[in-house]
């Protein structure tokens, strides 16, 4: 029966218990016959090792000392592995935060911030409700390692790109307006 229950999972402690029929989390101790209805193999390990952190599992009176020690070592190894994994994950996250912050940190050009006050509010845009959104377009974000001389060229390229996009949109809008007008007149 031990080989039959050993196929239940990867945990080596399955050789010391039998799974309950119809209850995937239930185990029956091979030493004392105690039926543990919930908690699975983890709670069963506490039963055999006498080390339940919550003190809600009955201790097995018939477990051999060598089995008790083996299970205690397994629990200790599992806890160490969990702690190491948590430390490793935190180190990876810290490294990512550091690298991402360094590579993707942006600075706002102070000249552009000053231009927001003059450009964004009452500059005669005439575009209706879109003026509020366009004010944010004048704030440029730069990579932290960009040389100040490159910022000017970058800013001019962004402005040229935005102007070209605006011209394209105006042309499309104009052409659509002509088509609509032409359709209505016919």
Rounded to an integer, the average pLDDT of 82-88 is 91
With tokens 């089995």, the residue in question is 67
The answer to whether residue 166 scores a pLDDT higher than 60 is yes
User: Which residues are CB-contacts of 25 (< 8 A; sequence separation ≥ 6)?
Assistant: 37, 38, 39, 40
Per-range mean pLDDT, top range of 8-12, 27-31, 104-108: 27-31
The answer to whether residue 91 scores a pLDDT higher than 90 is no
The answer to whether residue 107 scores a pLDDT higher than 80 is no
pTM, to two decimals: 0.47
The answer to whether residue 130 scores a pLDDT higher than 60 is no
d(CA 161, CA 167): 10
């Amino acid at each position: 029966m031990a080989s039959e229950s050993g196929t239940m999972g990867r945990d080596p402690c399955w050789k010391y218990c039998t799974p309950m029929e119809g209850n995937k989390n239930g185990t029956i101790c091979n030493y004392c016959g105690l039926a543990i209805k919930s908690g699975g193999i983890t709670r069963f390990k506490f039963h055999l090792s006498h080390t339940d952190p919550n003190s809600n599992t009955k201790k097995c009176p018939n477990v051999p000392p060598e089995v008790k020690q083996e299970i205690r070592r397994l629990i200790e190894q599992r806890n160490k592995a969990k702690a190491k994994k948590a430390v490793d994950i935190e180190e990876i996250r810290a490294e990512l935060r550091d690298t991402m912050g360094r590579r993707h940190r942006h600075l706002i050009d102070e000249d552009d911030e000053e231009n927001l006050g003059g450009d964004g509010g009452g500059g005669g845009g005439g575009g209706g409700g879109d003026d509020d959104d366009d004010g944010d377009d004048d704030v440029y974000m730069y990579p932290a390692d960009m040389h100040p001389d490159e910022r000017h060229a970058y800013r001019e390229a962004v402005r040229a790109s935005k102007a070209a996009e605006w011209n394209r949109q105006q042309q499309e809008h104009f052409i659509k307006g002509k088509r609509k007008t032409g359709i209505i007149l016919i």
